[in-house]
Amino acid sequence: MKTNQLSIPNISCGHCVMAIKEELSEIDGVSIVEGDPDSKIISVTWDAPATLEQIKEKLAEINYPSAD
């Protein structure tokens, strides 16, 4: 199991965090998504078959690209 913290500059509120949680949770292998709108950081925990690249691609697709 892997965990990464990603900086998401487009986060402005709790609704943004909820949208990210919903979208990333649909990726097979993603188990935990947590976020903080104040720090603009999300933490994602996943296992195979999910990959960090896949997570970043989904974030870009939903207009919350990672600054990392």
| Domain boundaries defined on the chain | 2-61
pLDDT of residue 68: 81
Helix (H, G, I), strand (E, B) or coil at 34: strand
This prediction has a pTM of 0.92
Helix (H, G, I), strand (E, B) or coil at 2: strand
pLDDT of residue 55: 97
In CATH terms, the fold of domain 2-61 is: Alpha-Beta Plaits (3.30.70)
Looking at the predicted structure, is the pLDDT value of residue 41 above 90?
Answer: yes
pLDDT of residue 42: 97
Q: How far does the chain reach from its first CA to its final CA, in angstroms?
A: 20
Report how far residue 29's alpha carbon sits from residue 11's, in angstroms, rounded to the nearest whole number. 23
Question: Percentage of residues in the chain with pLDDT exceeding 70?
Answer: 100
Residue 23 backbone zone (phi > 0: left; psi -120 to 50: alpha; other: beta): alpha
